[in-house]
Amino acid sequence: MLRPNDTKGKLIVVEGIDGSGKSTQIDLLFKWLLSKGYSVYFSEWNSSALVKSTTKTAKKGKSFTPATFSILHCTDFADRWENSIYPLLKAGVIVLADRYAFTAFARDVARGVDPQWVRDMYSFAIMPDAALYFRVPLDIAVDRITGARAQLKYYEAGMDLNLSESYPESFKLFQGKILNEYDKMVDEFGLTMIDGTLPVKDQQRKVRTLVRKILAGFDGLPNPDKAAISVNNPQARKKSKKGGK
């Protein structure tokens, strides 16, 4: 299970199925915290340069199994955890993560791995100070994604699970399973649920109210220039794109 936060920093993560609007919300939060003068670092799921070539090969060759999919995503997470997230938290930075361990707990379990096994695998990481779960009904999320994106990708649509021959149909069934896992985690981990069907502005107001509470009395690492932090990893020269996939 996730450890308690033993650092000076604050960890805030957003979770939810594809199309829940979480990336929009964390991007707004990031800019707001930066403007307030905090030291903030943003980390995105599946963005480690170290693991990228392997993931790319596997996706192209459709050679992932649920277990290797799960372990490689945790490898990606571990690289970001060990080389940036954890040291920065120790330094007193506010770290924002677009998807966290809960994504693995939802997605990998929907793919059929053992729930306890995947929870144990992420147990080197800490429980966030806030885990915001943007909940939207399945139909709305699916409409948002299929409307905005030209084509669904193989693993994104859960085609490896043989739920349906049709990409949109498989995607919907797969997201439904993930949504179900997320809902179960609300109590298990005390995720804060936010209604993802509300206007963006209203959601952001709720997010900021919550974050203000978490940051009451928090000093953290000063940021006189109000500049964003980027971690200089010699192997991670290619900067990951922020937001979306």
Tell me which residues touch other proteins (CB under 8 A).
50-51, 53-54, 57-58, 63-68, 71-72, 74-75, 78-79, 81-83, 111-114, 116-117, 120-121, 123-124, 233-235
Look at residue 99 and give its three-state secondary structure: coil
Dihedral sign for Cα 108, 112, 177, 132, please.
negative
What is each CA distance from 135 to 54, 176, 211, in whole angstroms? 31, 12, 18
Q: Which CB atom, from 35 or from 57, has the smaller least distance to other proteins?
A: 57
Beta-carbon contacts of residue 155 (< 8 Å; ≥ 6 apart)? 59, 64, 69
- Whether residue 196 contacts residue 21, with contact meaning beta carbons closer than 8 Å, is answered with yes
Q: Which is nearer to other proteins, 23 or 70 (CB)?
A: 70
**At closest approach, how far in Å is the CB of 53 from other proteins?**
5
Q: Which is nearer to other proteins, 166 or 235 (CB)?
A: 235
Q: Which residue, 24 or 233, is less far from other proteins as judged by CB?
A: 233
Shortest Å distance, C-beta 106 to other proteins: 15
Of 214, 200, 190, 46, nearest in space to 136 by CA: 200
Shortest Cβ distance from residue 61 to other proteins (Å)? 8
Residue 151: CB minimum distance to other proteins, A: 24
Looking at residue 132, the DSSP 8-state letter turns out to be: E
In the complex, the smallest distance separating the C-beta of residue 1 from other proteins, rounded to whole angstroms, is 11
The string over 101-114, giving b where at least 16 C-beta atoms fall within 10 Å of a residue's C-beta and e elsewhere, is: bbbbbbbbbbbebe
Asked if 31 and 226 count as a contact pair (C-beta separation under 8 A), the reply is no
CB of 136 to other proteins, least distance (A): 27
Q: Which CB sits closer to other proteins, 46 or 146?
A: 46
Rounded to 10 deg, the angle between the 167-189 and 101-110 helix axes is: 130
Residue closest to 211 by CA, chosen among 12, 7, 9: 12
Q: How far is the CB of 231 from other proteins (least distance, A)?
A: 11
In the complex with other proteins, which residue's Cβ is closer, 33 or 118? Answer: 118
Most distant CA pair in the chain, distance = 54
Select 63 or 180, whichever has its Cβ closest to other proteins. 63
